[in-house]
Amino acid sequence: MALSVLREQLAELEKITDAEWLESLDARKRQELEFHDRDRDRAKIKQMDQDTYERFYGNKKYYEATQDSKVYVDQWIARHAPGKVFLDYACGNGSGAIQAAKAGAALAIGMDISSVSVNNARNDANANGVSGNSKFVQGDAENTKLPSGSVDYVLCRGMLHHLDLSFAFPELRRILAPGGKILAVESLDYNPLIKLYRAMTPEMRTEWEAAHILSLKDLRFAQRFFDMGDVRYWHITSIAGPHVGPLLPALAALDRLLTRMPLVKLMAWIFTFELKAKIKAPLAH
């Protein structure tokens, strides 16, 4: 598909008014929009006292343990983005699309339900000098309105559990170009200690999000729409990183062993999986 056609469709999406946009969303999606507008309001975050910040963002400190999975994702973007149309799906503040644009994507798109997130992403893209080959739009991930077969690679980073997969997976299949790939990065819903932490910190996530953390049954569902690629598991003991200081590298090394062990790997905090556009069998003559 010509990039000009895709850019024209993105320009049309930008014309949708706030009133039209809100009217198109059901109650679940409105809740997600309101939550993420609040969650990504940088001005308000700066004004928060420490106790309030800990209540809503206390989980952020645990992400210092995710260096291994972050490197894997960064390398995936760097390998696949150059010269391609890259979509940061439910992009948040757009870091994935900005990475793809810096890696030489023909066009890096970020789409998110939150206008606050989209504005953050546009500002960050300008600051990184990639506004020329990136585009950020407010949109519904379950109904993107992008042309069919228009996207070569998609990054789904920590966002599939915000969606109804019975709508999201068919939509991703529709917009994915032949030979295209998707990388999903998600929390895994098996570790009882992590599940307890989520239950004790309800302010950090929406009701839908808390009830739809992914498991292997979601991978089986995904295979109705895609061919499955590489599946990897990350971070078991290293989650304790914020509390153990200099022991974090040792725990990360231990995790590289534990996450290869059957059953034990299901205690991982995060797993990644690659989805590939299904190859259509040729018609019989």
Three-state DSSP class for residue 205:
coil
Q: How far apart are CA 159 and CA 36, in angstroms?
A: 11
- Round the average pLDDT of the chain to a whole number and report it: 94
pLDDT at 212 exceeding the cut of 60: yes
Task: Give the pLDDT score at 65.
Answer: 87
Task: Give the pLDDT score at 9.
Answer: 93
Give the mean pLDDT of 148-172.
97
Q: How far apart are CA 87 and CA 94, in angstroms?
A: 10
Tokens at residue 277, please?
A: 């556009």
Confidence class of residue 281 from pLDDT cuts 50, 70 and 90? low
Task: Give the pLDDT score at 279.
Answer: 81
Confidence class of residue 1 from pLDDT cuts 50, 70 and 90? low
Task: Give the pLDDT score at 282.
Answer: 56
Task: Give the pLDDT score at 20.
Answer: 83
Domains of the chain: 3-277 (3.40.50.150)
pLDDT at 31 exceeding the cut of 80: yes
- The angle formed by the CA atoms of residues 171, 124 and 201, to the nearest 5 degrees, is 65
**How does pLDDT run across 219-256, given as a tens digit for each residue?**
999 999 999 999 999 999 999 988 888 899 999 999 99
List all residues 6 or more positions away from 275 whose beta carbon is below 8 Å from its beta carbon.
172, 181, 182, 183, 184, 222, 225, 226, 227, 228, 229
Percentage of the chain beyond pLDDT 90 is 84
Confidence class of residue 283 from pLDDT cuts 50, 70 and 90? low
